[in-house]
Chains A and B, each alone.
Chain A
Amino acid sequence: MARAVTTRHKTIATAAAWIVALLIFFPILYTIITSFKSEQEAIQGFSLFPSGTLESYAEVQSQYNYFRPFLNSVILSVGSTVLALVVAIPAAWAMAFSPTRRTKDILMWMLSTKMMPAVAVLFPIYLIFRDFGLLDSRIGMTIMLMLINLPIVVWMLYTYFREIPGEILEAARMDGASLWNEIVYVLTPMAIPGIASTLLLNIILAWNEAFWTIRLTTTNAAPLTAFISSFSSPQGLFWAKLSAASTLAIAPILIMGWFSQKQLVRGLTFGAVK
């Protein structure tokens, strides 16, 4: 009896998981399907069966060079993530192992910056970028993406570090480890799953960031988000071309996510069950 209930529960849970996964993945799937339709097919209504034409890809390729925005996306997402980790690991270490009365408040304050609509600070940021000559520069965008994702990185690392027993670090200290050695040789290896998932998630967030990357770049530092947005047309059909551009833009990050999903899930559920 118990086994029957367990099997039934398992089946229901599996079916529910598949349904949820399909619902979440469906917009991406439909974008990919639409990219293989003609413009007329794309706007005719819902259909899961495209004619299989590659004309949209040919058109996208003939209009713009994909490689430059792709390279910019790689540089900006990886660069901002590495920079964020360099800043966030010591910050999260301090908050996790040497908390003060204000640590929780600081963490909340950091998170609250994510609650503010980005457009509210568009003009000040734009003026700062203009005055420092950072408009349309990879350095400027790397710093910008690092800053906007920093609260999430610090929060994630803080959560992972809190799972590591402080006694281990104390033991390292008693053995004469310096602060540097303690973070690099003791803490970091133990938090590798957490750091890896933070790194992957941050790369995904930076790759998909569209508000600032579209507004602060023109050509030199413009990533794939700018590439996609250039295919929206006020007068003329563009759904199929836009879908082809989107598919090309998300393909690298989808492939990366697929291969690293084990690490990502392990990191995201790290410490979730005790």
Chain B
Amino acid sequence: MTIRTLILGATASLLAFAAHAETITIATVNNGDMIRMQKLTDDFTQKNPDIQLNWVTLEENVLRERVTTDIATKGGQYDVMTIGTYEVPIWAKQNWLLPLENLGADYDADDIIPAIRNGLSADGKLYAAPFYGESSFVMYRKDLMEKAGLQMPDAPTWDFIRQAADKMTDRAAGVNGVCLRGKAGWGENMAFLTAMSNSFGARWFDEEWKPQFDQPEWKNTLQFYVDLMKADGPDGASSNGFNENLALFQQGKCGMWIDATVAASFVTGADSTVADKVGFALAPDTGLGKRGNWLWAWSLAIPAGTQKAAAAEKFVSWATSKDYLKLVADKEGWANVPPGTRTSLYENPEYQKAAPFAKMTLDSINAADPTHPTVKPVPYTGVQFVAIPEFQGLGTTVGQLFSAALAGQMSVDEALKQAQDAATATMQEGGYIQ
């Protein structure tokens, strides 16, 4: 064996590997769970040495715009996309996504939490696998609640929230009774307000797709929200989204915060000054049968235009498997496992111990029903959104109006009237109504 033979052999092996190796490109958002997954991908590449991974991390709205452009034009830039429960039913209907039918024998798709699985399925087929799921619930300061002489029920009403907020507000001490989203956007204030409106018996459209902002249920929702925030909310609330309220709560400036269940690990984490004083409760209701909580899952889907479907599905299976949850637990502890996707996680005593909010998270997720989101019947699916392509634009327009009402730039009645006009125009343009 000469050196030349050795070099030739090595070169041939390298060429054979290069010819066989596939690189898949994954588009994702920047959040703690996704970044953690990127750091753990050695586990995947060791098990699948013929597949290399390319990550593209983008801001949420840019990601949505880019993957939509790519998938609509069959650009083929991505093999795996991170999308949410809003996109999946719409894109599946357009045949833009491949059904996930080869996730492996030990994948156990039945273990996926039913509400999440329903939200990611169309015609009985799973079109995206959940990476992490969330609902929304009440996070509150136990010490301030006690000081106010109240006890938070597991399932509070909106009237209780208002009563508690009034008592907890202490402007001199910089404590706001309640912090809620006010920043305009279909995924910002409208996610919260749409879910809240469900509990007030409101709906976006009736069975004939006629907009419903001129109905008393919406007036009750928006008036309650604006009055509550004016009395007990923080200054400049119309600019506050998830991150701004998170910072306020972590600094001890909110008595209650109603937002995504994933926030639980942040407010009880090392960065929080009130970590040991936080309690959790279901999102409020008004006794009509629906709670004001939403349902969302950042999920991995495979676009129909990919040339590497088999490799992409292997990756999706790995990233959303039970084994992946265990891998994260082994490396970084159970508290850092991506939540809200698998029933078995919530049955795990180690997880229950590490995440005191686990039961309330699961109960919140189970309390959301994307197929029957409202008190009155509706022709759409989606709890905090309406799963039609027009919703992104319309939701943001309505969000701007409601944010303006919160900021005092227009009255509640004026905001609702303009919302009704905008929704009517959009639905007429879309051919839903005459």
Contact = CB atoms under 8 A, between A and B. Distances in A.
Contacts of B260: 235
Interface stretch (A122-130, A166-174, A261-269): A122-130
Nearest to A215: B66
B247 A235 contact: no
Contacts of B25: 218-219
Interface string B63-107: 001100100011111100000000000000000000000000000
B169 interface: no
A40 B247 CA distance: 7
Interface of B: 25, 27, 29-32, 35, 38, 54-60, 62, 65-66, 69, 73-78, 187, 242-244, 246-247, 250-251, 260, 262-263, 266, 271
Given A219-B56, A229-B58, A230-B57, A236 B266 contact: yes
Nearest to A233: B30
Given A43-B244, A123-B73, A214-B62, A235 B262 contact: yes
A218 B56 contact: yes
Interface in A215-244: 215, 218-219, 222, 226, 229-238
28 contacts: A40-B271, A43-B243, A43-B244, A43-B247, A64-B57, A122-B69, A123-B69, A126-B69, A126-B73, A127-B73, A130-B73, A130-B75, A136-B77, A214-B58, A215-B66, A218-B25, A218-B56, A218-B77, A219-B25, A219-B55, A230-B30, A230-B56, A234-B29, A234-B30, A236-B31, A236-B32, A237-B246, A238-B30
Given A214-B62, A219-B54, A236-B30, 13 more contacts: A40-B251, A43-B244, A44-B251, A63-B35, A63-B38, A215-B65, A215-B66, A219-B56, A230-B59, A233-B243, A236-B246, A236-B266, A237-B246
A141 to B, nearest CB: 13
Q: Of residues B35, B78, B263, which shows the largest number of chain A Cβ atoms within 10 Å of its Cβ?
A: B35
A222 B57 CA distance: 11
A206 interface: no
A44 to B, nearest CB: 7
A232 B243 CA distance: 11
A140 to B, nearest CB: 12
A234 B242 CA distance: 8
Interface of A: 39-40, 43-44, 63-64, 122-123, 126-127, 130, 135-136, 214-215, 218-219, 222, 226, 229-238
B78 A39 contact: no
Nearest to A122: B69
B77 A235 contact: no
Contacts of B244: 43
B239 to A, nearest CB: 12
Contacts of A234: 29-31, 59-60, 187, 242
Nearest to B54: A219
Q: Of residues A122, A222, A230, A238, which shows the largest number of chain B Cβ atoms within 10 Å of its Cβ?
A: A230
Contacts of A44: 247, 251
Pick the 5 closest A-B CB pairs, nearest first: A232-B59, A230-B57, A43-B247, A234-B60, A233-B30
Contact of B247 (A136, A230, A237): A237
Nearest to B78: A218
Contacts of A126: 69, 73, 75
Contacts of B66: 214-215
Contacts of B247: 40, 43-44, 237
Contacts of A39: 271
Contacts of B78: 218
A52 B361 CA distance: 37
A235 B133 CA distance: 13
A219 B235 CA distance: 41
B250 A40 contact: yes
Nearest to B266: A236
A141 B139 CA distance: 47
A232 B27 CA distance: 14
A237 B56 contact: no
Given A43-B243, A44-B247, A215-B66, A233 B58 contact: no
